[in-house]
């Protein structure tokens, strides 16, 4: 599949965890992204209980592009456990009938008869059973999906490496950004060896790497970052200042996406956009004159290795 190097991550458009979201803003953002050359959209059945998928389906129908874009969506764990410990069984999270049922619901939400990339929304290294793969393979043989993927938890980017080596997946989605470089060592070598595509999510570190927050920023009660990031915000802002000392005049959002794309293992990076302005910001980066040189990239990686930045888990 030929994908634009920058795609569209659609979690916030679900409207249930990132604070209030206007559907009109979501539609405008999607249409602007299409206008600027985006052809890859990553959503999930869990985003707003299917609302994100429905918004995308609406836009595809209005723009008459049902077969002109590449759509990745995800099967949620049936048991609702998003970072499963080793004692959780895969049949509790992803039984075969649940994978098929979720796929059918997503197809209906999207108004399509196939999904380009169907991903399991989480994984555990302890899972060795293959019934999930057998069901995915059936869906692929039936033409309902084109590729099989897994979205790994941010704490354990290498947890699905065995599935990579067994040739069961064609994509892995992982958190990867300047503040969380773990996949470079723990996931990328395996993906490169077996030619598995990497979908890099959360490139802006939940907004931290857009330089729009200050130490005084307060997240709303309906924004999940209130309990995830609020107490760490002063330290994260300090880390951003260290990053900016290296990136210099380059706008931080440019540097954030360019950093992800500097690795050949990354097939696509999927920042979110909640309105037309954010979409313009994201998709202008491909045409941006700014680049990170080797010294800057080495400097950002040195900050990470020396633990001058990082230490926070993003989702």
Q: What is the pLDDT of residues 83-142, one digit of tens each?
A: 998 899 999 999 999 999 999 999 999 999 999 999 999 999 999 999 999 999 999 999
Rounded percentage of the chain residues whose pLDDT exceeds 90: 95
DSSP string, 182-237: HHHHHTHHHHHHTT-EEEEE-TTTTTGGGT---TT----TTBTHHHHTGGGHHHHH
Domain boundaries, the chain: 8-206+260-292
Does the model's pTM come out above 0.85? yes
- pLDDT higher than threshold 90 for residue 218: yes
Please state the rounded mean pLDDT for residues 211-220. Answer: 93
Per-residue model confidence (pLDDT) at position 57? 97
Over the stretch 129-179, which tens digit does the pLDDT of each residue have?
A: 999 999 999 999 999 999 999 999 999 999 999 999 999 999 999 999 999
Mean pLDDT of the chain: 96
The architecture CATH gives domain 8-206+260-292: Alpha-Beta Barrel (3.20)
Please tell me the predicted confidence (pLDDT) of residue 119: 98
């Amino acid at each position: 599949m030929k994908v634009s190097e920058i795609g569209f991550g659609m979690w916030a458009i679900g409207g249930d965890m990132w604070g209030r979201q206007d559907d009109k803003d979501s539609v405008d953002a999607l249409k602007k992204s299409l206008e600027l050359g985006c052809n890859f959209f990553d959503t999930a059945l869990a985003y707003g209980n299917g609302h994100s998928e429905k918004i995308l389906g609406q836009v595809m129908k209005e723009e008459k592009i049902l077969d002109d874009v590449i759509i990745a969506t995800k099967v949620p764990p049936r048991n609702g456990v998003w970072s499963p410990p080793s004692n959780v069984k895969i049949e509790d999270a992803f039984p075969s009938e649940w994978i098929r049922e979720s796929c059918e619901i997503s197809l209906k939400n999207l108004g399509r008869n196939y999904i380009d990339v169907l991903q399991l929304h989480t994984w555990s290294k302890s899972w060795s059973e293959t019934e999930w793969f057998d069901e995915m393979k059936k869906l692929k043989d039936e033409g309902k999906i084109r590729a099989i993927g897994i979205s790994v938890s941010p704490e354990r980017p290498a947890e699905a490496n065995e599935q990579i080596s067994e040739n069961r997946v064609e994509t892995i989605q992982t958190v990867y950004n300047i503040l969380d470089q773990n996949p470079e060592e723990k996931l990328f070598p395996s993906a490169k060896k077996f030619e598995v595509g990497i979908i890099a999510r959360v490139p802006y570190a939940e907004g931290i790497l857009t330089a729009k927050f200050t130490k005084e920023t307060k997240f709303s009660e309906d924004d999940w970052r209130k309990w995830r990031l609020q107490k760490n915000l002063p330290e994260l802002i300090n880390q951003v200042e260290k990053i900016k000392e290296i990136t210099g005049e380059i706008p931080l959002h440019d540097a954030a996406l360019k950093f992800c794309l500097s690795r050949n293992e990354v097939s696509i990076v999927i920042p979110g956009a909640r309105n037309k302005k954010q979409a313009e910001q994201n998709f202008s980066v491909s045409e941006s004159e700014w680049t990170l040189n080797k010294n800057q990239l080495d400097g950002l990686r040195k900050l990470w290795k020396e633990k001058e930045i990082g230490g926070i888990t993003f989702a």
